[in-house]
Amino acid sequence: MTAVGLGKIILLGEHAVVYGYPALAAALDRGVTIAAVPTPAGGSLRIDIPAWSLKVSATDDHPVARSLCAIADELGIGRPTVTLVGDAQIPPGAGLGSSAALAVAVTRALLLHDRRKADRAVVARAADASEMLMHGRSSGVDVALAIAGGVGVFRKATGLRSFKSQPLRVLVGPSGAPRSTAAMVDRVAHETHEVVDDARLRELGGLTDTGTTALLASDLVGLGAAMNRAHQILAGLGVSTEQLDALCEAARVTGAHGAKLTGAGGGGAVIAIAPRDREQAVLSEWKKAGVTGFVATIGGGVS
C-alpha cells in the first residue's frame, strides 16, 4: 500500500504567518508517495526516491537520515528493517512543501507497515519533528496541508481552517534556484526586528484576508492584485531575487492577473494566476527563461 503527502503553495501570507498572521494556502494535486517494503538483506531503515536521486540509510550523516530517525523516534518504532520506496511529483527544495510532503508520506507508510491507524494528530507530531530538524522555526502550514489537502487559511494559533472554493488553476514555476527556508525566516526576523506589529507584516496579513474574500467570490482580478502587492512587500523584506522578480514580471506582462514568489523565497518557486487563454503564453515565457512550470488545480472541496 502507498502512503501520500501532498505538496503545497502559499497563495498569500508567507513569512507573516510566522508572526501569527493568517496565510492562504492550498495543497497541490501532487506530492510524494511512499511504500514501505521489507529490506531483503535486513539492515537499517532506509529510503529510496529515484525521482530526487535520493538513497539514504537511517545511519547515514544526511539531513533526510536525521529526519527519518526523528519520525521513527516520535512513533516509538525503533529502526525497522524497512525500505521506504518513493516517488515524487514535486521538485525538492523549491518552496512547494517537499520536506513536509516527504515527512507525512514517510510517517503514514511506517504506520501502515506497523498496522497502526494513521491518526492525524500522530502524523502531524511526527512530521513536525522532522520539519523542526529541516527548517528550525516553522509555522506548521506545510505539514497541515500535506496531511489534510484542500485549501484554507492557516494561523499558527488555530491551525488550518479549510473551506470550499471553486477549483482554481494556478501556474507554478519552480525557479531551480536553491534556497534555505531557515535563512529566509532569519532575514525577515532581522529586517522586522521581530516586531509583530511591523507595518509590512500587518499588510501581508491584511492581503491574506482580501485575497481570501476574492478567492471565495471567484474574483481572480482581486486575488491577482493582492498577490502582486504581496510580492512587492516580500521583495522589500529582502526575500525575492532578480530571477523571481523577472519571472513574476514576465507573467504579468503576458496577461496574468497576478504573480508572486511562494514560500520562503530566496529562490524556490513563483506562482501566477492567469485567464485560461493566457496560461500557455505565461508557461512559454517562463520556459524561455529556463523554467519548466506546470498548472496545478487547487481547492474545489474540503477533505
Total number of residues shown for the chain? 303
Picking from 157, 74, 154, 155, the residue whose alpha carbon sits closest to that of residue 121 is 74
Residues 6+ away with beta carbon under 8 Å from 12: 23, 24, 204, 207, 208, 211, 212, 226, 227, 230, 260
Q: Which of residues 90-109 bind ligand PMV (CB under 6 A)?
A: 95, 97
Spatial separation of the C-alpha atoms in residues 205 and 197, rounded to whole Å: 11
Stretch that binds ligand PMV, among 36-44, 115-123, 247-255, 262-270 (CB under 6 A): 262-270
**Which residues touch 156 (CB under 8 Å, ≥6 apart)?**
17, 18, 20, 139, 140
# chain residues binding ligand PMV, by CB under 6 A = 16
Catalytic residue (choose from 73, 87, 119, 142) = 142
Q: Which stretch binds ligand PMV (CB under 6 A): 15-23, 27-35, 143-151, 282-290?
A: 15-23
In angstroms, give the least distance from the CB of 273 to ligand PMV. 19
State which residue, 209 or 219, has the beta carbon closest to ligand PMV. 209
Considering the complex, what minimum distance in angstroms separates the CB of residue 255 from ligand PMV? Answer: 26
Residue showing cell 519520525: 71
Q: Using the rule CB under 6 A, is 17 a contact of ligand PMV?
A: yes
CB 259 within 8 A of CB 272: yes
212, HSE (Cβ side, Cα atoms, 13 Å): 22
Location of C-alpha cell 476574492? 214
Q: Which is nearer to ligand PMV, 17 or 126 (CB)?
A: 17
Tell me which of 27, 47, 109, 141 binds ligand PMV, using CB under 6 A: 141
Is the CB of 124 or the CB of 141 nearer to ligand PMV?
141
298 SS3 class: strand
What stretch of H or E contains 259? Answer: strand 258-262
Q: Judged by CB under 6 A, does residue 185 bind ligand PMV?
A: yes
The residue with its CB nearest to ligand PMV is 263
Max Cα-Cα span within the chain: 58
Q: Which stretch binds ligand PMV (CB under 6 A): 83-91, 108-116, 180-188, 247-255?
A: 180-188
Is 142 annotated as catalytic?
yes
270-272-273 Cα angle (round to 5)? 160
If one asks whether residue 268 binds ligand PMV (CB under 6 A), the answer comes out as: yes
d(CA 286, CA 98): 22
Measured from the CB of residue 14, what is the shortest distance to ligand PMV in angstroms? 4
> Does 256 help bind ligand PMV (rule: CB under 6 A)?
no
Count the neighbouring beta carbons within 10 Å of the beta carbon of residue 302: 14
Neighbours of 263 (CB within 10 A): 26
- The DSSP bridge partners found for residue 56 are 47
Least Cβ distance, residue 23 to ligand PMV (angstroms): 7
Please select the residue that binds ligand PMV; options are 3, 14, 150, 153, rule is CB under 6 A. Answer: 14
Query: Looking at beta carbons only, is 67 or 138 nearer to ligand PMV?
Result: 138
Of 80, 263, 267, 299, which lies in the binding site for ligand PMV, with binding defined by CB under 6 A? 263
User: Binding residue for ligand PMV (CB under 6 A) from 138, 162, 212, 228?
Assistant: 138
Binding site for ligand PMV (CB under 6 A): 14-15, 17-18, 95, 97, 138-139, 141-142, 181, 184-185, 263-264, 268
Active-site positions read 142
